[in-house]
Structure 1
Amino acid sequence: MTVVRRDVLGLGGGLLAALSLSRRDVWAEEVVEIRMQGRADGSHVWFDPIGVLIKPGQMVRWINLNPGNSHTTTAYHPANFGRPLRVPETAKSWDSDYLLPDESFSVTFTEQGVYDYYCVPHEHAGMVGRIIVGKPEAHGGWMEQVAASRGLPDEALKAFPTVEEIMAKRLVRQA
């Protein structure tokens, strides 16, 4: 069998086209990384990004890149220290426990909606984040319930990016 240059180029082009199509299909399986960070003197701590839009079935990995602090990623859920529900009602709660520098923790999100989370020792300093999975319902759910904000520190409440900002930008960094 004789292989001509035209056949090789055709196969190469077909391979590239197939790879680009499969790349789009795999996007929902990519891991989104959220870094836990802080100033060296401990005067400011944060999640980066603080807001992110993902697809159902996508995994988020938090990694502590703050050499001077331990952090948690903890869902606002009654199962976690009696905190108000700020995740979809059917979603599973999570709590990473304390992560030392360079340790990580992952969660795969399957239920559509808005998920708020915080760092247990730094919630009072506004170390919170918001993940939107898919397209959240325009009305209903925990976001309209006054009780969902009861007991949260003012610094935490002020730090959350809006759903609209996350939907528009897909990724919101700490201001």
Structure 2
Amino acid sequence: MTVARRDVLSLGGGLVAAVSLSRRDVRAEEVVEIRMKGRADGSQVWFDPIGVLIKPGQMVRWINYNPGNSHTTTAYHPANFGKPLRIPEAAKSWDSDYLLPEESFSNTFTEQGVYDYLCIPHEHAGMVGRIIVGEPEPHGGWMELVAASRGVPDEALKAFPMVEEIMAKRIVRRV
């Protein structure tokens, strides 16, 4: 049996395509880490990054790296202490409860849209974050409703990164 050069090249091309597809799948399944941080004196607390763009089905893990504080990651959702709805209507709400230093909490995001979350004891200090899953709708939804901002402290509202910035950069760190 003779093997033509084009058959070998074709087989090699197929292998390269298969390897690149499997690497893409791994990246889609990577866990995104968001660190809960703060100054040693407790004067400032924050999520890092404060904004991320992920794919539907991707997992986010929050880890408390702040040795002096407990933190939560809590969806803006009426089920969580009557907070306004600032996640997609079909999305599942979450609340990590208090995480001590070095503890973590994970959540998988399946619904496309914009998800805002907070740290319960530090919302008033602007410890909030935003996750975008897939491609959010350009107009409409909770972001244009005044009610979505009712009861949210001004420091928190000022801290959220813009959707456009997250879409452009994919990751937005606290300045």
TM-based fold match above 0.5: yes
Distance 1:151 1:105 in 2: 25
Counterpart in the other structure of 2:8: none
Distance 2:166 2:13 in 1: 36
Letter of the structure 2 residue corresponding to residue 124 of structure 1: H
Letter of the structure 2 residue corresponding to residue 99 of structure 1: L
CA gap 1:118/1:17 in 2 versus in 1, 3 angstroms? same
The offset of 1:61, in angstroms, is 0.2
> Map of 1:3-42 to 2, 5 A cutoff?
18-42=18-42
RMSD of Structure 2 on Structure 1 (CA): 1.7
> Map of 1:101-116 to 2, 5 A cutoff?
101-116=101-116
2:146 is equivalent to residue 146 of structure 1? yes
2:95 is equivalent to residue 89 of structure 1? no
Letter of the structure 2 residue corresponding to residue 63 of structure 1: I
Aligned-pair identity in percent equals 87
Compute the TM-score of the two structures, normalised by the length of structure 2: 0.90
Letter of the structure 2 residue corresponding to residue 50 of structure 1: I
Distance 2:171 2:70 in 1: 24
Q: What SS does structure 1 have at the residue aligned with 2:59?
A: strand
The answer for unaligned runs of 5 or more in structure 2 is 1-10
The offset of 1:19, in angstroms, is 3.1
Counterpart in the other structure of 1:8: none
Q: What SS does structure 1 have at the residue aligned with 2:151?
A: coil
Counterpart in the other structure of 2:124: 124
Counterpart in the other structure of 1:155: 155
2:56 is equivalent to residue 77 of structure 1? no
Compute the TM-score of the two structures, normalised by the length of structure 1: 0.90
2:165 is equivalent to residue 165 of structure 1? yes
